[in-house]
Structure 1
C-alpha cells in the first residue's frame, strides 16, 4: 500500500516537472545553507574539543595595572615569570600541569629555496596535554625539557609531505635554523587539530624544544607576546582559586624583582584564566551566528514560496480530491495523499541540501568567510545528516498540515454534489494576505539589518588609512646566527649595507629600516603602553603605541609630516631622545600648551623625550585611533625594511634574498608582503560581511518578489471578472492598478508594524547578535522604500495581463 502510494505520487509529480524541480531546488538550496551553518555553529559552540579533559585546559593571560586597576600595559605577563612558574608548578595545588609555547617565524637553511616556517618552541607537556596524534615518531621527552639544550624537532604532516615527499626515513633527517641542526624525532598526524591560541590561521610547521625559542633573555620587567602559558587544572580545582593563587605569587615575585624601578611603582599583574574553547573560538561565533540567522531567513522565504506553490497545486487537484471523497476517502486519507507527494519532494531536497552543504563547507575551508576557528575538522557528520532529514521531515509535515487545513473537506463534498459549478475550492483571503505579510515582514527586517552591517563594513573598506597603500612592501628579515655572533654595532652596519644595496635597485624609490610597523603580518597587533605628560609618580598618563625606524622608513610607510621636522640618520643611529607624534596626541599636548619642544615622560619616571614633529593620524583596520609615538632607531634584532617602488614597478622576495645573500649568507627574508595584501588580510572580515549581506539582501528580494508575484497573480485570477466589469464601465488601467495596489498595501502595512516591533526588540540586543545600526531609522526607511518599490513593481507585473488588454478578455476569462 505504501509503495503503491509512493509510485502514484511519483507519477503525478512527473507530469508537473516545473513544479517538482522548482520545489526541490528552492528547498534544497535553502536547506543546504541552513545545514552548513548549523554544522559550523555546532563545531564552534557545541562540539567538544579533541583534547582529553579539554574543559580543564586554560590559557593564562594578564595585564599590568595600577592600584586603581587602570591598565598600564595590556597583554602583560613577565617572560621570566612564565618560566619560573612553570618550574615551580608543584607549588600550585590547583594546577595539574603547565606547558609553555613560544611562537615565531624562521628561515630553514638546509632545504632548497630556504622556506619560511612557523615555529613553535614548546615544553614536553604541550603535546601531552593535547594528546596529539602522531604519524611517525614521538613527542619530546622529559629529558628534552627546559634547560636540556637538546636540538630535536617535530614537524607537521604538511611539512613532511611537501618538503620531504612523505619519506618514511624522515626521522633520520634534520632541519637547520640559525645554524643549529635539529634532528627530527616525530611527525604529527594529518588529523591533528592544533589549537589556535595566537594569531588567526596560525598553524605550526616545526616544533622545537623550548630552549631554542626565538625571544630575548627572559626578564621580570619585560613581556613576551610570543609566549603562551597553558594550564591544566585538577579535576576538583576552581579556576578562580587557581587564578588568585597564581596572581598572588606573580605579584610577590614581581615586586621583589622590580624593587626600585619607577616604571613598576604601584603596579601589579592582573591575571585571567581563559578556557581553551573560549580562546579558540574567539569572536568567530558572532560570524557563524550571523550566517545561521541569514540561512534561517532564506529558508523562511523559500518555505513561503513553496507554501504558495503547494496551495496553488492543491486548488488544481480539487476535482481529484472530490472523487476520492466520493469513494470514501476521509480527511486523514487526503492528508496522507499530500504528505506522500511532499515527502518525495522534500526527501530529494534533503539529498540536494547535503550536496550544497558540502560545497559551502568547502568554500568555508578555502577561506571565503575569513579565518574562522576549527575549520580544519569541519565536515558532514552523522548528526548533520540526521539534522537535514529531521528538518526536512518536520517541514514536510508542517506544510502538509497547512495545506490540509486549507482544503475544507465539506466544501470538497459540496463541489462534487453541485458538479463543480461555482463552488471550487479556493485559498482563503486570510491565508493569501498572511503569505504576503510574512514575505514582506521577513524582507523588510532582513534588509534593515543587512543595511546596517553593510554600511559599517563598507565604511571600514573605503576609509582612507593615511598610509601609502600602492607600490609599498614590508620585508621582515631573519639574521640567523648573527644575533649571537655579531655585536649590535656590527649588525647595524650590515643592515645599513643591505639598505644601500636595495636603494641602488632601479625600481626602488625609497627604502628604510625599522621595527614592527603599525600594521603588519602579525594580525593580533601589539599591546599599548603608557607615558606621562609630567614627571613623577602617576602624573597624567596616556596610552600609546610606538614604532621605531629611520626617516626613510616612515616616509616609505606613508606617514605625512605636517609640523616640525623628520629624524636625521644620526638620531636613528644614536637612539636620540626625540620623537615624532601623531595629531591625536598633538591635540592633547596643545590643550596643555606647546607641541613642538614638549616633553613626554616614561611611566613613573623623570626620563623624558622631546617632540620634534607631528604627523597625520593613520586609520588602520581593527585598530582604534590612539596616540602614536615614532622613535628614531635602527633595530638589529628583528628588523623590517620598508620599500617603496616606482610606479608600475615591483620587487620580489627572491630578488631581495639574492641581494641579502651577497651581503651575508645568514641574512634571509622570512616574511614579504605588499601593503595592499596586508590591508586586504586585515579587512577580510569586513569584506566578507559586506559581500554576505549584499548577496543575502539580493536573494531575499528575489525570493520575496517571486513569492509575492505568485500570490498577487492568484488574487487577480480570482478577481478577473470583477476587474473586467470595472474596465468595461469606464475604469482606466491606472485606476485598476491603484485598486489592486491598495489590496497589496494592506498586508504591507501589517508587515511594517510587525517589523518595527521586531527591530525594536533586536536593538535591545545591540552588540550580542547584530550591531546597533540595525535600529537606525534611516536604514529602516531605506528598506521600506525598497519594499514598497518591490510591491509596486510586482503588482504592475502581475496586473499587466489585465490592464494592457481590452476588458472583453477579462470578461471571457482569457
Structure 2
C-alpha cells in the first residue's frame, strides 16, 4: 500500500506538469467511456436486466404461427391450453384496446389492457390499493370491474385513497374500481395501459360471437412448472395443436401449417430491438478502442520524451517492474478520472436517449444508472487504463541505458521501436474508424433509399385522427354509420377543407386480415385460404388520400349495407390472383361471407406493411358494408392541417359532445415516424463514426507533428546539404500516407467481414455496397492527406541556420 500511495503521488505530480496533454487524454477517454456507459445502460435495460417478476426465466410467450406470419391467439386456443396442459403452472392472456372514459374530467380515450384474472397472480403483481380480479369477474356473467394504473390514479383521480369501490364510466358502462397498481408495476411485454379489465373475451371492434369463431386477437403467456423445460412444453403444445385442429376443423387458424410454440418472453419482446442494440454496442466499443489507441500514442510520445528520466531512475537501481508499475499507475489514474467524467457524460447521454429515442426503446424498459452500469463503468475504466498504458510502459522499460545517458541532455531521437509503435497505433485507429465510417455510410445509403420510397399516397396537407366510438352507446352498425356520415358531411362543408374520409386503419400501419377465395382459385376450406389485408373506407377515401385508380370505379354512396357486396383490390392482389387479366368484374369471397363480392376497381398499391416492405395483397370494402366503431378520420386541407384541428373537433362535438378525438397527427408525421428507427440507428452510428474519424485524424496529425518536432535537426542538415524543401514535404507526407494507406487497407478487410451484421437493418442495399466501399475510403484519404500536409508544411519551413545553431 505504501508503494501504491507513493506511485499515486508521483503520478499526480508528473501529470500536472503537462496539463494540456493530460486534459486531452482525459477528454478523449471520457468521451469513449461515456459513450460505452450510455449504450450499456440501454443494453442493460433491454437485454440484461431481468423482468420485474419472480423467476422471469420461467415465463414464456405462446404463439401460433404458420410459415408466412404470426397469428394472434384465439379464445378457443387459450381455453384448450389453459384446461389441458401439464407443462405450465399458470396460463394467462392479454390484449390491448382503447375505451372512452367519461366523468371526472374531459372525455378521453384511454389505453386499456384486457387481461385474464390469472395474469397478475402469475406475475406476482399485487395492487397497492384493493385486490386482484376474481375468477368470476373474468367471465361474461361477471360484473364490470377495473384496476387503475398508478399514473391515471394520480393524474385523473388525484391519488384519491378512497377510489376503491367507486364507479368510473368506460364506454358508457358503469365499472367498479377494485384496485390500484403500485408505481413500480411494469409490464415490458405489453403496450402502456391506464386501466386493466378482466373482460379479455371482449373487444371493442368485435362481437363476442365473432371472437369465438377464431379471431386471433389474444397474446398468451405462461409460467413453466419447476421441473419442465421449454423443450418439453413445446412437445406438449404440438399435441395440443393437433387436438385443436381435430376439434375445430373450420377455424381460420386450423390450417396444417399453423403451429403453436413457446419461446422465452424476453426473446419475444426484444427480438426486433436486439440487433440494433448490438450494432450500437459494437460501434461504441470501436470508438473506445480508437480512443485507447489515440491515448496510447499520446502517452508514448510523452514517454519517449521521458527516456532520460527513466534511464536515470534505472541507473539508480529502479527495476523494470518498478518502472512499469509506476507508468501503469499513471495510466490507471488517468483512466479513473476519465471514467468519473465518463459516467457523467454517459448519464447525460442516457437522458438524451430517453427523450430523443423514446419511441425506439420498448415500453417498460426504464433507462436507469444502476449498480450494474456503475460496475461496468469501473471495469471498463480499469481495462482501458491497462489497454492504453501497457504499450508505452513496455516500450520505456526496454530503454537503452547507456545510449540515453550518453545523450548528455540533448533530446534523444526517437527509437525505431517507438516510431514503429506509434505508427502501428495510428494504423489501428484508422482501420477501426474506417470500419465505423463504412457502417455509417451503409446506413446512410440505406436511409437515403428509404427517403425516396413512395408511400402510395400524398402526405402533404393531410390530417389524421382516431375516433373510437363507445360500443355500448353505438352498439348497432346503423348507429356507427349514421355518426360517421354526419361527421364527414359536417367537416367537408367547413372552409379550408378540400375533402374528408374515414378508414379502419392508417397506411403504413398494421392491417386487419381475412381469408379470401378469389375467382379461379381452388375452393378449399376456410382455414386453408390465403389471408389478405382488408380495409373499410368511405367513398371519398381515394380522393382524399390521392391514391389513383388503375381501372374501374371508386365506391359510391349507394354501396351500402342493402346493396350487393363490392370490393376494390390493389394492384398486387390483381397480379397475384388474376395475372394478365382484368380484375374488374371478378368476384371474391371475403371471410365467412356467403355472397361473393364484385370487384369494381383496381387501385394503385399503398404501402400497407411499412415503408421498408413491399405492399401485400389488399382489399378495400365500403365502410357501410363493413362498419367499425373505431375509425381513422382523414382530412385533406387547403390550409395548414394543424390550423383545421379546432374546427374539426367542434364538428365532432356537435354530433356527440362526449366523443373524444385522439392521436391527431399529420400524414407527414406518420410517414416520418415510419423512418424513425432507421434514422435513429443511422444518426447514432454516424455520430460515433464522426468521433472515430476525428480521433483518427488527430492521431495522424499528432504522430507526424511529434515526428517533425523530433527531426528538426535532421531536416536542417538535409536542407544545408542541398535538399530542396519539396523533398522534405514529400518525405513527411510519404511517412503519413504509408500509415494512412496501411490503415485503410486493414480497415477495408475488417469492414468486409464485420458489416455483414448490418444486413437485417439495411434497406435495398447490401453490406458490401460497392459505392460505399469506394467513396468512404476515398473521402477518408482526402481528409487524411490534409492532416498529413499540415505537419509536412511545417517541416518544409525549417530554417537550417537556426536549427544547426
What TM-score do you get using the length of structure 1 for normalisation?
0.89
Q: Which residue of 2 aligns with 1:111?
A: 104
Q: CA deviation at 1:806?
A: 5.9
Instruction: Choose the corresponding residue for 1:373, options 362, 373, 378.
Output: 362
The answer to whether structure 1 residue 171 and structure 2 residue 164 are counterparts is yes
Matches within 5 A, 1:3-14: 3-14=5-16
Q: Which residue of 2 aligns with 1:78?
A: 74
User: Separation in 2 of the partners of 1:690 and 1:135?
Assistant: 42
The answer to whether structure 1 residue 339 and structure 2 residue 328 are counterparts is yes
Instruction: Choose the corresponding residue for 1:774, options 767, 776, 785.
Output: 767
Instruction: Choose the corresponding residue for 1:585, options 573, 597, 607.
Output: 573
The answer to whether structure 1 residue 196 and structure 2 residue 196 are counterparts is no
Residues paired across the two proteins, number: 793
Instruction: Choose the corresponding residue for 2:230, options 232, 239, 255.
Output: 239
The answer to whether structure 1 residue 567 and structure 2 residue 562 are counterparts is no
Q: CA deviation at 1:98?
A: 1.5
Q: Which residue of 1 aligns with 2:261?
A: 272
The answer to whether structure 1 residue 217 and structure 2 residue 208 are counterparts is yes
Q: Taking structure 1 as reference, are residues 654 and 105 closer, same or farther at Cα in structure 2, changes over 3 Å only?
A: farther
Q: Which residue of 2 aligns with 1:648?
A: 640
Matches within 5 A, 1:498-537: 498-520=487-509, 524-527=510-513, 529-537=515-523
* Offset from partner CA, 1:444-475 (integer Å, 9 cap, x none): 22212221122112322342212121222223
Q: CA deviation at 1:662?
A: 2.5
Q: Taking structure 1 as reference, are residues 711 and 610 closer, same or farther at Cα in structure 2, changes over 3 Å only?
A: same
Moved more, 111-120 or 283-292: 111-120
Matches within 5 A, 1:624-703: 624-634=614-624, 635-650=627-642, 655-665=647-657, 667-703=659-695
The question of whether the paired residues in 1 share the 8 Å contact of 2:576 and 2:617 is answered with no
Q: Which residue of 1 aligns with 2:536?
A: 548
Q: CA deviation at 1:219?
A: 4.0
Q: CA deviation at 1:549?
A: 0.9
Three-state SS of the structure 2 residue aligned to 1:164 is coil
Q: Taking structure 1 as reference, are residues 534 and 307 closer, same or farther at Cα in structure 2, changes over 3 Å only?
A: same
Three-state SS of the structure 2 residue aligned to 1:139 is coil
User: Separation in 1 of the partners of 2:564 and 2:717?
Assistant: 94
Q: CA deviation at 1:294?
A: 0.9
User: Separation in 2 of the partners of 1:265 and 1:168?
Assistant: 48
Unaligned runs of 5+ in 1: none
What root-mean-square deviation, in Å, do the aligned CA atoms of Structure 1 and Structure 2 show?
A: 3.1
Q: Taking structure 1 as reference, are residues 216 and 677 closer, same or farther at Cα in structure 2, changes over 3 Å only?
A: farther
User: Separation in 1 of the partners of 2:600 and 2:716?
Assistant: 84
Three-state SS of the structure 2 residue aligned to 1:467 is coil
Moved more, 534-543 or 671-680: 534-543
Three-state SS of the structure 1 residue aligned to 2:483 is helix
The question of whether the paired residues in 2 share the 8 Å contact of 1:579 and 1:609 is answered with yes
The answer to whether structure 1 residue 291 and structure 2 residue 280 are counterparts is yes
* Offset from partner CA, 1:674-729 (integer Å, 9 cap, x none): 22222232221011022123222222211111111111112223333443444456
Q: Which residue of 2 aligns with 1:146?
A: 139
Three-state SS of the structure 2 residue aligned to 1:104 is strand
Q: Taking structure 1 as reference, are residues 58 and 459 closer, same or farther at Cα in structure 2, changes over 3 Å only?
A: same
Q: Taking structure 1 as reference, are residues 586 and 636 closer, same or farther at Cα in structure 2, changes over 3 Å only?
A: closer
Q: Taking structure 1 as reference, are residues 623 and 725 closer, same or farther at Cα in structure 2, changes over 3 Å only?
A: same
Q: CA deviation at 1:525?
A: 4.7
The question of whether the paired residues in 2 share the 8 Å contact of 1:335 and 1:400 is answered with no
Three-state SS of the structure 2 residue aligned to 1:196 is coil
Q: Which residue of 1 aligns with 2:545?
A: 557
The question of whether the paired residues in 1 share the 8 Å contact of 2:729 and 2:795 is answered with no
* Offset from partner CA, 1:97-124 (integer Å, 9 cap, x none): 1212121012211132223211012222
Q: CA deviation at 1:514?
A: 2.9
Q: Taking structure 1 as reference, are residues 372 and 669 closer, same or farther at Cα in structure 2, changes over 3 Å only?
A: same
Q: Which residue of 2 aligns with 1:45?
A: 47
The answer to whether structure 1 residue 716 and structure 2 residue 708 are counterparts is yes
User: Separation in 1 of the partners of 2:734 and 2:667?
Assistant: 55
* Offset from partner CA, 1:48-93 (integer Å, 9 cap, x none): 2221232222222213x5xxxx65x7414333443x336xx34222
Moved more, 572-581 or 127-136: 572-581
* Offset from partner CA, 1:491-528 (integer Å, 9 cap, x none): 312321121111122132111133223335xxx55457
Three-state SS of the structure 2 residue aligned to 1:551 is coil
Q: Taking structure 1 as reference, are residues 145 and 577 closer, same or farther at Cα in structure 2, changes over 3 Å only?
A: closer
Three-state SS of the structure 2 residue aligned to 1:494 is helix
The question of whether the paired residues in 1 share the 8 Å contact of 2:136 and 2:142 is answered with no
Instruction: Choose the corresponding residue for 1:615, options 603, 617, 621.
Output: 603
Q: Which residue of 2 aligns with 1:792?
A: 785
Moved more, 106-115 or 40-49: 40-49
User: Separation in 1 of the partners of 2:723 and 2:601?
Assistant: 77
Instruction: Choose the corresponding residue for 1:453, options 424, 437, 443.
Output: 443
The question of whether the paired residues in 2 share the 8 Å contact of 1:369 and 1:685 is answered with no
